[in-house]
A and B are shown apart, each in its own frame.
Chain A
Amino acid sequence: MALQLGVSLSSSFIEFCLTQTNENEKILSFQRKYLAKESLTQAVQSFLQEESNRKIKRVIISTRFLEKILESHLGGGVAQVVTSGFESWPVLRQPTRPFYFEIHPYRADPLGVHDLIFPLSERVSAQGQILVPLDLAELEFIAAKLKLMKVKKVCINLLFSDKNPVHLESVKNFFQEKGFLVYAEMDLETTDEMAQWRRNLLNACLTGSFTDFKEELYAAFAPHFKPEEIYFAFEKEVHNEINENKLISLFFGLPYSFSKIFQKTPQVLHLGIEDWCLYDFSRKQNIWESQWGPIGVKTFENKRLNVQLTEEIIAVPLGGLNHSKTELGYEPGPILFGKAHRPTVFDVLFAKQNPKNMEAFIHRQVQNRLDSQLNVLVRNKYEGFSSEEALHDLKDQIIHQIIHQVELNVRHKQIVMTGALAPFLFEKIKKRSTELDWILHSNADEVEAWAASTLKGRS
């Protein structure tokens, strides 16, 4: 029997799920590992060692590991060649922050450095007509300058390339022949040039770090699997080749894999270990509202919940305690993971119970630290409540916040709950939200890796 290994790789966890290709509802093996405790290579090798008696045909990976790259290190040194007259456009089009009125507003950080934006005399009209022809001498000058600056990556961001790609192709070929890495993907469905340009820029910024990550990944799976046996889920396909012009696509592999398994019940509340999100797989969207501004991406309608598992618990101006907008992540993670000191939503939800599927990560020895931190917060904010009552109240509040957000955003009565936290929260949510028809997915805990394992790959 042919077996397929689905892998879900996010910032801090890796999950493995083994299924049979012709009977993939049944999970043969599942593991979840915490990457702060063991390296990617150790995690992969130990899983494969345990499953060494099985013949696994291929590996399919859906990964949000790139989020970790974005948090810590975006590769610098990316040049942009833009239509002359629009050198400042990538900066001027950055969204304003904050969202509310403030006398010192600022722009969201642009992806590219302004000093590395080079104008190019060329212009194509909205009808695809060439108004200003290309000047190759200018390209030589730009290339020479980039070599002097030791910049290797170039984004070609020209207006109306989708209407007439002749300049784009010429410039792309020019820089490729000079040995540069060129990012010039055209998106025919996104009309906003900045959504297209940011896509090229983000792909370029990710390349360096992703190359290292890819090599580490292939090394982790060697010698059991060759690179051509390792597939990745992208925003609308599964493939074993990774094109540097499509790295962003990897962010959206998880929704793609979900869309394949949730066709009959498209409304899904995913309470994963790193991401809580409401999906509607019956609706598509062309824009991803990223932290750098809108980026052209084809994915399914989704809304990240405004409460997330690693958000810190803080006192709020309106009174009482609530989750902040700051996600602390899993390094060091919730207090219950052993090393941290700031209580999170995770700590509140599991202060008194152990979720079975995360027992390996939780250290009850730090219970006193958690109790003490929560008591400090609770002490002056919940008059007349004991610490235990206050904790219970806070937990209930979080659950209600999840419910209210979902109920105000769903379009269908039936909703599937899935994700590592789903088995623990399902009954509480279902009991309090009686207007919706809640279904707990049978593979809720394993869903991310399991969904990957059910995909069919193309090579």
Chain B
Amino acid sequence: MSKYRYILNLDLICRELLSIFDSGAIISSQNEVLNLKYETLADIGTLGPSASTVIKYFPMKMGDIVILNDPYSGGTTLSTLSIVTPLYIGSLSMGNLYLVVRTFFRPQLSHCRNLEEEGLRIPPTPIGAERKINKAVLKMILQHPKCPAGFENRLYDVLENVWRSVDSFQAIVEQNHTIFSKVVLQKYFDYTDKALGQSFNEWSHGDSKTELTLDGGELIRLRTYFDQEKILFDFSGTKSSLRMCLTDSATMGSCVGATLALFKQNLPINSGLFSHFQVVTPLGSLVNTKYPSPTFKGMTEGTSLIASIVINGISSIIAPNRIPMSAQSPALIQFTFSDGRNFFDSLAGGIGASGLMGGADSLHLWTRNKLRNSVQEIESHFPMRINQIGIRHASGGKGQFYGGNGLHKEYQLLEPAQLTWAIEQKKSPPQGTMGGAPGLPPEIWIYPKSGEKYSLPEEEGTLNLQEGDRVFVCTAGGGGFGR
């Protein structure tokens, strides 16, 4: 049997197993990532650590379940639940294997300065053994006022798929021990490493320095060093923030995800691939924040901003045609109604143009958005109406190639609600390059049922609104390229 067959089969098995989950990873007891499926940039860097934390502190048997959402234990936002369970415990030379999967609840946006105010924080918590949920532990979680709606049903749904996958995987391992050997795993890593290395070799190498100032005044500094073997992202000099906070794992995920996107690589994400990356994040800076800093904005908008500065950093080394700034931070909107129902929406801006083509209109660059967008479904569940959704024409930066347009969306409240919003790139809209014009910044307009319309000047805040009030959101356009 050729060496390739084992590697390709291992790759297929891992991908197929993870395909039914929103995101997930297979980790060995040596903390190696065999394969990973992501939904967001943060997933890329945090799935491994979330499982590693559990493996380190909880000796697990088959059928044991540990859940967590704590970003400081490898989670991302408090509305993302990670579930860790052993996948195979036995005599494999590659070690025991663990499965970590994630499921996403509708997020809750808040402008707090403490993680505990953002929602229910679940540190790594054993919640089951022998495939049975500990009802007492579950009850405690469900009784918490900030427990996400539908938590119990979702947990059981995901676990049903988890057990099916574990059983199938066990059967495959029993019949194909040779695939799951240390030697094959190392070759899998080596070949992934080599494949990425080959694409790195096709580009010129060097050093660059970039800076990005956020709307709140925070500074991100990045030194990018790129050679045939490694790519270094050094965030030394980056300041701290009270509102835009990422863990070092999430920063790592942003760097890796952005690099792969720039090099157009759809390689398996595993420890072989990670070996090319080195990320330096000063402790206490916004790219390596400490408990109890809030992380929602960092894990959503922040990862997008990190990705954009990484792309700028790399492209200034390798690409004669620099990639202009996309409207990479979505506009985040939330309506909280008096009965506790919470509607959250994430609206994409335009993608920046490049030297090859114009940008796409209103696309999420760094998430494959799983939020339900159906107008009929939203209006059926929430006391609101969506009056219009359209392309925000002429919002993309002009140039030889135009930046993508943002979008506009109008909500009308049928009951009083509190609006919470967060929009980045308002003060520094997505810039163009090589003479291209910037895209328009994002805007939010309030049309009260009675009274004059007004624009919200701040990039984030909360506001109480009445029945009949309308909220009109415009997302940013992408930067243009060339004259």
Pairs across A and B, CB under 8 Å, 28 listed: A84-B388, A88-B407, A92-B362, A96-B369, A100-B260, A102-B264, A104-B357, A107-B363, A125-B385, A126-B379, A160-B379, A191-B376, A193-B376, A194-B374, A318-B7, A318-B191, A318-B195, A320-B8, A393-B1, A400-B176, A401-B12, A404-B9, A405-B12, A407-B172, A408-B17, A409-B168, A410-B168, A435-B171
A105 CB contacts on chain B under 8 angstroms = 351, 360, 363, 365
Beta-carbon contacts under 8 Å, A373-413 to B: 381-382, 385, 390, 393, 396-397, 400-401, 404-405, 407-411
Chain B 136-172 near chain A by CB (<8 Å), digits 1 or 0: 0000000000000000000000000000110011011
Interface centre among A86, A393, A408 (most CB of B within 10 A): A408
In contact, B2 and A393 (Cβ under 8 angstroms):
yes
Is B206 an interface position by the 8 A CB rule? no
B264 CB contacts on chain A under 8 angstroms = 102
| Further contacts, 6 of them, CB under 8 A, given A320-B3, A404-B13, A408-B16 | A86-B389, A101-B257, A101-B261, A105-B363, A321-B4, A404-B12
Q: Which B residue's beta carbon lies closest to that of A432? A: B175
A319 CB contacts on chain B under 8 angstroms = 3-4, 7, 191
In contact, B357 and A407 (Cβ under 8 angstroms):
no
Q: Known contacts A85-B388, A393-B2, A400-B5; decide if A405 and B16 are in contact (CB<8 Å).
A: yes
A79 to B33, CA, bound (A): 50
A390 to B192, CA, bound (A): 22
Which residue of A85, A102, A401, A411 contacts B390 across the interface (Cβ within 8 Å)? Answer: A85
B191 CB contacts on chain A under 8 angstroms = 317-319
Which residue of A102, A106, A400 contacts B9 across the interface (Cβ within 8 Å)? Answer: A400
In contact, B261 and A102 (Cβ under 8 angstroms):
yes
Is A350 an interface position by the 8 A CB rule? no
Q: Known contacts A88-B391, A317-B267, A318-B191; decide if A396 and B5 are in contact (CB<8 Å).
A: yes
Which residue of B164, B362, B377 contacts A191 across the interface (Cβ within 8 Å)? Answer: B377
In contact, A322 and B261 (Cβ under 8 angstroms):
no
A305 to B373, CA, bound (A): 29
Say how far B73's CB is from chain A's closest CB, in angstroms. Answer: 25
In contact, A89 and B389 (Cβ under 8 angstroms):
yes
Say how far A302's CB is from chain B's closest CB, in angstroms. Answer: 14
B168 CB contacts on chain A under 8 angstroms = 407-410
Chain B 383-427 near chain A by CB (<8 Å), digits 1 or 0: 001011111000000000000000100100000000000000000
Is B108 an interface position by the 8 A CB rule? no
Is A99 an interface position by the 8 A CB rule? yes
A98 to B260, CA, bound (A): 13
A396 CB contacts on chain B under 8 angstroms = 1, 5
Is B202 an interface position by the 8 A CB rule? no
A100 to B242, CA, bound (A): 31
Say how far A395's CB is from chain B's closest CB, in angstroms. Answer: 10
Is A443 an interface position by the 8 A CB rule? no
Q: Which B residue's beta carbon lies closest to that of A162? A: B376
Q: Which A residue's beta carbon lies closest to that of B392? A: A88
In contact, A435 and B266 (Cβ under 8 angstroms):
no
A88 to B392, CA, bound (A): 10
A320 CB contacts on chain B under 8 angstroms = 2-5, 7-8
Is B78 an interface position by the 8 A CB rule? no
Is A23 an interface position by the 8 A CB rule? no
In contact, B363 and A401 (Cβ under 8 angstroms):
no
In contact, B12 and A86 (Cβ under 8 angstroms):
no
In contact, A316 and B8 (Cβ under 8 angstroms):
yes
A146 to B323, CA, bound (A): 41
Is A290 an interface position by the 8 A CB rule? no
Q: How many residues of B contact A (CB 8 A)?
A: 70
In contact, A92 and B12 (Cβ under 8 angstroms):
no
B198 CB contacts on chain A under 8 angstroms = 317
A338 to B8, CA, bound (A): 30
A371 CB contacts on chain B under 8 angstroms = none
Is B380 an interface position by the 8 A CB rule? yes
Which residue of B175, B354, B377 contacts A433 across the interface (Cβ within 8 Å)? Answer: B175
Interface SS of chain A: helix, strand, loop or mixed? loop
B366 CB contacts on chain A under 8 angstroms = 101
A159 CB contacts on chain B under 8 angstroms = 375-376
Is A93 an interface position by the 8 A CB rule? yes
A321 CB contacts on chain B under 8 angstroms = 4
In contact, A160 and B12 (Cβ under 8 angstroms):
no
A235 to B190, CA, bound (A): 47
In contact, A435 and B174 (Cβ under 8 angstroms):
yes
Chain B 1-32 near chain A by CB (<8 Å), digits 1 or 0: 11111011101110011001000000000000
B363 CB contacts on chain A under 8 angstroms = 96, 105-107
Chain B 342-357 near chain A by CB (<8 Å), digits 1 or 0: 0000000001001011
In contact, B1 and A409 (Cβ under 8 angstroms):
no
Q: Known contacts A102-B264, A103-B261, A407-B172; decide if A191 and B380 are in contact (CB<8 Å).
A: yes
In contact, A126 and B380 (Cβ under 8 angstroms):
yes
In contact, B376 and A103 (Cβ under 8 angstroms):
no
In contact, B389 and A98 (Cβ under 8 angstroms):
no
A407 to B264, CA, bound (A): 31
A93 to B1, CA, bound (A): 46
Q: Known contacts A191-B376, A320-B7; decide if A103 and B365 are in contact (CB<8 Å).
A: yes
A319 to B267, CA, bound (A): 12
A407 CB contacts on chain B under 8 angstroms = 168, 171-172
Is A289 an interface position by the 8 A CB rule? no
Is B364 an interface position by the 8 A CB rule? yes
Q: Which B residue's beta carbon lies closest to that of A131? A: B385
Q: Which A residue's beta carbon lies closest to that of B365? A: A105
Is B311 an interface position by the 8 A CB rule? yes
In contact, A101 and B41 (Cβ under 8 angstroms):
yes
Q: Known contacts A102-B261, A408-B168, A408-B172; decide if A160 and B4 are in contact (CB<8 Å).
A: no
Interface centre among A103, A159, A390 (most CB of B within 10 A): A103
Is A327 an interface position by the 8 A CB rule? no
Say how far A83's CB is from chain B's closest CB, in angstroms. Answer: 9
A404 CB contacts on chain B under 8 angstroms = 9, 12-13, 16, 172
B369 CB contacts on chain A under 8 angstroms = 96
Q: Which A residue's beta carbon lies closest to that of B175? A: A434
Beta-carbon contacts under 8 Å, A315-338 to B: 316-322
Is A67 an interface position by the 8 A CB rule? no
Say how far B190's CB is from chain A's closest CB, in angstroms. Answer: 9
A320 to B7, CA, bound (A): 9
In contact, A397 and B388 (Cβ under 8 angstroms):
no
A317 to B196, CA, bound (A): 9
Is B368 an interface position by the 8 A CB rule? yes
Is A237 an interface position by the 8 A CB rule? no
Is B183 an interface position by the 8 A CB rule? no
A409 to B357, CA, bound (A): 40
Chain B 41-63 near chain A by CB (<8 Å), digits 1 or 0: 10000000000000000000000
In contact, B365 and A318 (Cβ under 8 angstroms):
no
Is B268 an interface position by the 8 A CB rule? yes
Is B262 an interface position by the 8 A CB rule? yes
Say how far A194's CB is from chain B's closest CB, in angstroms. Answer: 7
Q: Known contacts A404-B172, A408-B16; decide if A393 and B5 are in contact (CB<8 Å).
A: yes
Is A244 an interface position by the 8 A CB rule? no
Beta-carbon contacts under 8 Å, B258-290 to A: 258, 260-262, 264, 266-268
Q: Which B residue's beta carbon lies closest to that of A315? A: B4
Is A229 an interface position by the 8 A CB rule? no
Beta-carbon contacts under 8 Å, A82-137 to B: 84-89, 91-93, 96, 98-107, 125-126
B38 CB contacts on chain A under 8 angstroms = 101
In contact, B171 and A87 (Cβ under 8 angstroms):
no
- The 7 A-B pairs at the shortest CB distance, nearest first, are namely A320-B4, A85-B388, A317-B195, A435-B171, A101-B261, A192-B374, A126-B379
In contact, B4 and A86 (Cβ under 8 angstroms):
no
